[in-house]
Structure 1
Amino acid sequence: MPVRGVGGIFVKSADPDAAKRWYQEVLGLELNSYGGFDFPHAEAAETFGDGARTIFARFEDGSDYFAPSEQAFMVNLIVEDLDALLARIKAAGVALIGEPQQFDYGHFAWLLDPDGVKIELWEPAKPKA
């Protein structure tokens, strides 16, 4: 297959510096030398095995899965310790969208970033030994 994965997600912002600070302060991301955030594939694969993957999917126009965001897209971020991240988010005073949910393929929670983009946090199920 000639396409090997997603090389980046690039989003317009009314205030890019404020949005970057939000991702640093609320989610604990670290800026790279280009002013974005890196997610090394090897680290996710080491933790989650085959569960570490990027999913590219299309939704019907009428889908409410991205609600309450009015954006035509959302971002799913793989996290290693969702409970710890949820504590950080709560301490930052950021509200979740609904309640976190557990499925056989992982643990999920949702919030909106400063530009109204829905962020889905996903802790994949760890591979069985």
Structure 2
Amino acid sequence: MKKGKVTGIGGIFFKCQDPGKMKEWYKTHLGIDTNEYGAKFDWKQEDPAKEGYTLWSPFPDTTKYLEPSSKDFMINFRVENMETLVADLKNEGVTVLDDIAAYEYGKFVHILDLEGNKLELWEPND
């Protein structure tokens, strides 16, 4: 079976005092076109027929979504072969925080790195 791996960065999520004002600041000063989730940066994969995107998303500083990490950010990594990757991570002693969840836009699971930073793994349906 093919081993799972990271294929890119799926998103950058971070805490801030006022996500609406933060999105407006980035739109005004850096030209980032934002929506309710943040901003989506589209790009092409090595195979030009395949498109992907990276999401930039500010969260309220009161969010619990980044817990149990005490950090104010979380990186989302695009992965392939999610089930295999998660099984390998568990066998390697990596803390897997939840079960794989499937949605119309892909599969997700959360892990902790060596220093307790929460990472989101995402296998997109693209």
Alignment-derived partner of residue 47 in structure 2: 46
CA deviations on 1:4-35 (whole Å, 9 max, x unpaired) are: xxxxxxxxxxxxxxxxxxxxxxx867xxxxxx
Distance 1:48 1:107, change over 3 A: farther
Q: Under a length normalisation based on structure 1, what TM-score does the superposition of the two structures give?
A: 0.60
Q: CA deviation at 1:95?
A: 2.3
**Alignment size in residue pairs:** 90
Q: CA deviation at 1:89?
A: 0.3
Report sequence identity in percent.
Answer: 31
Distance 1:54 1:70, change over 3 A: same
Q: Under a length normalisation based on structure 2, what TM-score does the superposition of the two structures give?
A: 0.61
Contact 2:8 2:79 in 1 (8 A): no
Higher strand share: 2
Gaps (5+ residues) in structure 1?
A: 1-26, 30-37
Contact 2:5 2:81 in 1 (8 A): no
Contact 2:69 2:118 in 1 (8 A): yes
Q: For residue 63 of structure 1, what is the amino acid of its counterpart?
A: T
